[in-house]
Structure 1
């Protein structure tokens, strides 16, 4: 059978289309968590200042107009952001906490706060993000305080509120190296209504050492409360 040139071109076109479809499908797939990270300025600095502007987190250089990168999530709003050791950490209205490299190279990690989305949408993020020393971020919500390693989002420890009590992140204050967090209770002694925290959890005598940090980390003192070992 003789194949005409026109038929050969058609077969070739079909073959090319079949080869390109998987690649095209890969590029149009939704990004995880609806992430949209755009580097907008040349020579991104390692640890830029960060802020919430509208529906995005922005990092900028010497001036407010010197935007280096912008990070948004589809259909979501950031309610607070803080920069620690070259990582920009934000909490969003759906209760997701994210860590983005200071240069805007990638979103390093996502972590979900159970049941926090509705409260964040109603109250905002005032006082929720609390840097706790070298490489640790505490996230304070009414139900619990959760601490993450800033470099990779690894869970360091978790402290639930006592029964009948709730944390008030907007009323937390720093004093003598500790974070004092209000924990109003419907009943109970006044001494239970304020707790003291540091990078290792609740400050208490005889805290147990867990040695659950990565090699080279400086966090080598004892932890308290519900500390968790690093993943295997």
Structure 2
């Protein structure tokens, strides 16, 4: 299909004529959303790969902080724009007059967009068409999480989930009384897991099932919830242990020991939880470690040799661990390292020169961070951020999308 543009007007959206023996009538539909769509342009681009890359050493594309879906790089601005991941050509653009896209997520072959007026839209990335609209309320900074067959909107007061198929409300639940969220939420199978801080002290995980069933797990010393495999999550303690739970039952599955030197558990895959110690700078100090949740023991250790140290959080996807480290003698360089999740064996490494992507930073290179932002469709996305802003990027396109050499 060639490139085309349409604008949905407030006056007229559809005309239907219904006939009957006693007469007929005309029904006019009114589109209230003032949407503008350009595209799609050409054939739908296929995914770069179908599994997490073991050697993400080739730059496929420059990026901001995108969502990757199949062969599309989807960037958020006033609206959202999808680019062909390989060629960089615009595939489609979706905007609403006078509105800003606040959150974007992708799951099940669909794109979900939440706008600053609370409108949630399921968007078809192939046809470049909105499939449904749902009014979710006025909190423009609410979080968006896809979980099971729903897409959930998380606000300061509660969660409302919508059916991915038609946008109808699936369920709604308040946050546990006396507790607040930091936007910390993850999907464990079809269960939404929220990490909450509570006024009476302590930390807890609120589990919301596919029908809105509410379960609470209070943990006195917990600091965050982390992924721990399909249908599982863990509550981790800063520089301490981590308890793995079944998201379906709330029962304890495993406890990862705090004996890992100065490390904090960050991510897992159902068999291993991986910890990182950003203070490991001296030769022999433990930088990363993997705890076997099946054998209840330390499975592997990765010490630094003093020429590098860990930065950011490692991410476990399937059988691989992705981690970023800094070089002690090269301020402009960061390295993405891939480890085997079962053994800790290094599989690949890719050096990134920050000066190629942020040639004139506002901060010294020593203060810039490179973090893993997205792993999907055979790619790993890295973005460069300012630590003081957390998720704020320092430029429009100072991120990169990496893939296997033969896939790029």
TM band (smaller chain): 0.5 to 0.7
Residue 130, structure 1, aligned to residue 145, structure 2: yes
**Stretch moving more, 63-72 or 80-89:** 63-72
Give distance in 1, aligned partners of 2:214 and 2:82.
Answer: 34
Higher share of residues assigned strand = 2
For 1:32 and 1:50, locate their aligned partners in 2 and report how far apart those are by CA, in whole Å.
Answer: 28
Cα separation, 1, equivalents of 2:87 and 2:136? 31
Distance 2:87 2:114 in 1: 22
Q: Specify whether residues 173 and 64 from structure 1 end up closer, same or farther in structure 2 by C-alpha distance, changes over 3 A only.
A: farther
Q: 1:204 Cα deviation (Å)? A: 4.0
What does residue 105 of structure 2 align with?
82
2:208 is equivalent to residue 160 of structure 1? no
* Structure with the larger RCO, 1 or 2 (CA within 8 Å, 6+ apart): 2
SS in 2 for 1:63: coil
Residues 79-124 of structure 1, C-alpha deviations (whole Å, 9 max, x = no match): 221111122101112222111112134211121222413xx2xxxx
Deviations 1:39-75 (A, max 9, x none): 1411235964352332121223342613221110111
**Structure 2: gaps spanning 5 or more residues:** 1-10, 14-29, 47-68, 217-247, 249-408
Partner of 2:43: 43
What are the equivalent positions in structure 2 for 1:59-208 lying under 5 Å apart? Answer: 59-63=82-86, 65-117=88-140, 120=141, 128-133=143-148, 135-169=149-183, 171-173=184-186, 178-186=191-199, 188=200, 190=202, 193-202=204-213, 204=215
Please report the TM-score for the alignment, with normalisation by the length of structure 2.
0.36
- Report the secondary structure of 1:201's partner residue: coil
Instruction: Say which is worse superposed, 151-160 or 195-204, in terms of deviation.
Output: 195-204
CA offsets 1:196-231 (integer angstroms, 9 cap, x no match):
2343434549xxxxxxxxxxxxxxxxx9xxxxxxxx
Distance 1:115 1:166 in 2: 19
Q: Distance in 1 between matches of 2:73 and 2:153?
A: 18
Relative to structure 1, is the Cα distance of residues 50 and 107 closer, same or farther in structure 2, using a 3 angstrom cutoff?
A: farther
Aligned pairs, how many?
A: 169
SS of corresponding position for 2:198? coil
Whole-angstrom CA distance in 1 between matches of 2:80 and 2:100: 9
Structure-to-structure mapping, 1:209-228, within 5 angstroms = none
Q: Cα RMSD over matched residues? A: 3.2
- 1:168–1:181 Cα contact (<8 Å) kept: no
Q: Is the 8 A contact 1:76 1:92 kept in 2?
A: yes
Contact persistence 1:165–1:185 (CA under 8 A): yes
- What does 1:21-36 align with in structure 2 at a 5 Å threshold? 26=12, 31-36=31-36
Distance 1:164 1:32, change over 3 A: same
2:75 to 52, 62, 74: 52
What is the distance in 2 between the residues matched to 1:153 and 1:50?
A: 24
Whole-Å separation in 2 of the counterparts to 1:177 and 1:32: 32
The structure-2 alpha-carbon separation of the partners of 1:167 and 1:180, relative to structure 1 and needing over 3 Å to count, comes to same
Paired with 1:189 and 1:56, the residues of 2 have a C-alpha distance of: 40
8 Å Cα contact 2:139-2:155 kept in structure 1: yes
**Partner SS for 1:183:** strand
- d(CA) in 2 for partners of 1:155, 1:173: 20
Could you state the TM-score of these two structures normalised by the residue count of structure 1?
Answer: 0.60
For the structure 1 residues 33 and 177, does the alpha-carbon distance in structure 2 shift closer, same or farther, using more than 3 Å as the test?
Answer: closer
**Distance apart, 1:177 and its partner CA:** 7.0
Q: 1:90 to 1:161 in 2, by over 3 A?
A: same
Deviation of 1:78 after TM superposition, in Å, equals: 0.8
SS in 2 for 1:43: coil
